[in-house]
Chains A and B, each alone.
Chain A
Amino acid sequence: MFSFLFKKGHRVERLIYAYLENIKRSQESFANALRECFLHGERCENFEFYLQQTHKYESKADDVRQEINDLMYGKALIPDSRGDIMGLMAALDVVPHRFESILYMIQTQRLQLPDFLKVDLKALVDLCLETCDLLYRQTEALFQKSDHIRELLTTIDTNESHCDHFERTLITKIFDSDIDPFLKLQLKDLIVEIGEIANQADRVSKRINIISLKRRV
């Protein structure tokens, strides 16, 4: 009966799902670029294509986020929800930016992965991407009727700890090896950057939990 008063809220809801869809696609391209073209040790032809796709979806997600922000400034939703959603979007947006910056790092620095790092780096990438998938589920749970937010928070937190462990193992292996010192620093930076994906997912997950808790009286 009163739904005409809340059109903007429904539009924000639709845009948030569109935003999530775009960052999922950006992640898919990022994962393909790493799995098919970097973790094997040699760059493949498709790397540039996947990089462009990652950038394209990240850029689309940016556009959708801008539209959400415009609606928020147009006074959709109550002020408390506005602040929460805009803060959540800003925090989530760091994740696809990081996908893009990692691929640009590999492209511009022409990084090649030494064989002794392949297995551990693959494990780190897989776990980071799994953490992101859990984060998207948790974000959707916030906007749906779900009680799994707390459980997902715990799993994401555990994954982030495992990622830190992989990160330390990889960096130790790099500096124990006898590869070129300059390459050591490049690879260390790359691993830290990949590990930051899980760190950011953990930060966003904690923010989602707080947003959810705030809605309990």
Chain B
Amino acid sequence: MLSLLGGVFLGWSLGANDAANVFGTAVSARMLRFGTAAALAAVFVVIGALMEGQAAIDTLTGLTRMGLSQAVIASVAAAATVSAMTLLGQPVSTSQAVVGAILGIGLLNGQLNLNGLTKVLLCWLGTPVGGALMAMVLFFTLGTLYNRLHLNLFQSDFWLRLALILAGSYGAYALGANNVANVTAVFVGAGLLDSFQAALIGGGSIAAGILTFSRPVMATVGRRLVALDPFSALVVVLSLAVTVHFYTLLGVPVSTSQAVVGAVLGIGLIKGVNTVSRRTLQQICLAWFLTPMVSCCLSLAIFFATHLRYVPPQ
């Protein structure tokens, strides 16, 4: 079971970081206590992983075949990439790190499912775009409904808070369903775990990250979104959830952070204001390129390092 440690660490850091995208707004604005948000997120992540995690696990497993040692190398390379890029302050997507690491192993084995890889790459490009489109559609439809209800201040407050909790819970479900593959899919490919075990261990490690270390990240990430009015913040969280869930149904793990940026951009387009800086967009493009490349190179480097042999001089 020690072989799973790299994946568990990856799941833990994913939970600590990505829960902020779904509950950061509510917690940092004190609409919801951290304990309540973390408990809801942890529960729904595990439910999501168990209910719908299978499809993305199948996609990642199908990218290449690998043995147990290669699976461990892939998960350690992905975890190290995420940690190193976070420490360097660079934007990083766990999904992209994992796919990069699998790509490295696939290159070594000379066996790569190009169709699967193309599907994944297209979905990465489509994540922020999907987030933006979904935000625009939801803003208009929910906005029309909201205006027709003629709510007073307290009713509006009540329903917005409730909707944000429900949207956050749905977002956590989508996060678990989509991103659990990043954590344990390589071990399914290596034959160490079956899909149910992978979803349970992956969901559990993401939940552990949420419960133990997501508070500071929620406070930091959430503040970036609080600048939006409460209705727009709700639309952003709901767009993230729907977009990530959509890609879950396609079986492709994507970045929740990029879905959030896309949704915020969509709100900005509707309101005619600049909600996302050019620097943020540049960072996303950089992350698309840099994260899988670094992870791929790292998995190759670890593989070669672990296969070095001492040849005594004759």
| A residues with CB within 8 A of B | 2, 5-6, 9-10, 12-13, 75, 77-81, 84-85, 142-147, 211, 214-217
- Answer whether A143 and B152 are a contact pair too, CB < 8 Å, given A217-B139, A217-B231: yes
Stretch at the interface among B86-94, B159-167, B255-263: B159-167
Tell me, rounded to whole Å, the shortest Cβ–Cβ distance linking A189 to chain B: 37
Quick check: is B151 within 8 A (CB to CB) of the other chain? yes
Quick check: is B289 within 8 A (CB to CB) of the other chain? no
| B residues with CB within 8 A of A | 29-31, 139, 142-144, 146-147, 150-158, 160-162, 165, 226, 229-231
A/B pair count, beta carbons within 8 Å: 59
| Cβ contacts A to B, 8 pairs, < 8 Å | A2-B165, A6-B161, A77-B157, A78-B230, A79-B230, A143-B154, A147-B150, A217-B139
Closest to B166 in A: A2
A91 CA / B146 CA spacing, docked (Å) = 28
Tell me, rounded to whole Å, the shortest Cβ–Cβ distance linking A86 to chain B: 13
A6 CA / B36 CA spacing, docked (Å) = 14
Tell me, rounded to whole Å, the shortest Cβ–Cβ distance linking A146 to chain B: 8
- Answer whether A78 and B153 are a contact pair too, CB < 8 Å, given A6-B158, A217-B146: no
Chain A residues with Cβ below 8 Å from B150 are: 145, 147
Tell me, rounded to whole Å, the shortest Cβ–Cβ distance linking A137 to chain B: 14
Tell me, rounded to whole Å, the shortest Cβ–Cβ distance linking B104 to chain A: 45
A53 CA / B158 CA spacing, docked (Å) = 37
Q: Contact partner of B152 among A2, A75, A77, A145, CB < 8 A? A: A145
Query: Which are the 3 A-B pairs with shortest beta-carbon distances?
Result: A217-B143, A75-B30, A81-B157
A79 CA / B156 CA spacing, docked (Å) = 13
Q: Which of B154, B155, B156, B165 has the most CB of A within 10 A?
A: B154
The reply to whether A78 and B29 contact each other, CB–CB distance below 8 Å, is yes
Chain B residues with Cβ below 8 Å from A5 are: 161-162, 165
Chain B residues with Cβ below 8 Å from A146 are: 152
A2 CA / B162 CA spacing, docked (Å) = 8
Tell me, rounded to whole Å, the shortest Cβ–Cβ distance linking A207 to chain B: 13
Tell me, rounded to whole Å, the shortest Cβ–Cβ distance linking B30 to chain A: 4
A78 CA / B151 CA spacing, docked (Å) = 15
Q: Which of A6, A79, A80, A142 has the most CB of B within 10 A?
A: A80
The reply to whether A78 and B147 contact each other, CB–CB distance below 8 Å, is no
Chain B residues with Cβ below 8 Å from A12 are: 154
The reply to whether A80 and B230 contact each other, CB–CB distance below 8 Å, is yes
Closest to A12 in B: B154
Chain A residues with Cβ below 8 Å from B31 are: 78-79
Closest to A215 in B: B156
Beyond contacts A9-B154, A80-B229, A217-B144: 20 other A-B pairs, Cβ-Cβ < 8 A, are: A2-B162, A2-B165, A5-B161, A5-B165, A6-B158, A9-B158, A77-B157, A79-B226, A79-B230, A81-B153, A84-B153, A85-B153, A144-B152, A145-B150, A145-B155, A214-B229, A215-B156, A217-B142, A217-B146, A217-B231
Closest to B162 in A: A2
Q: Contact partner of B147 among A77, A147, A216, CB < 8 A? A: A216
Tell me, rounded to whole Å, the shortest Cβ–Cβ distance linking A87 to chain B: 13
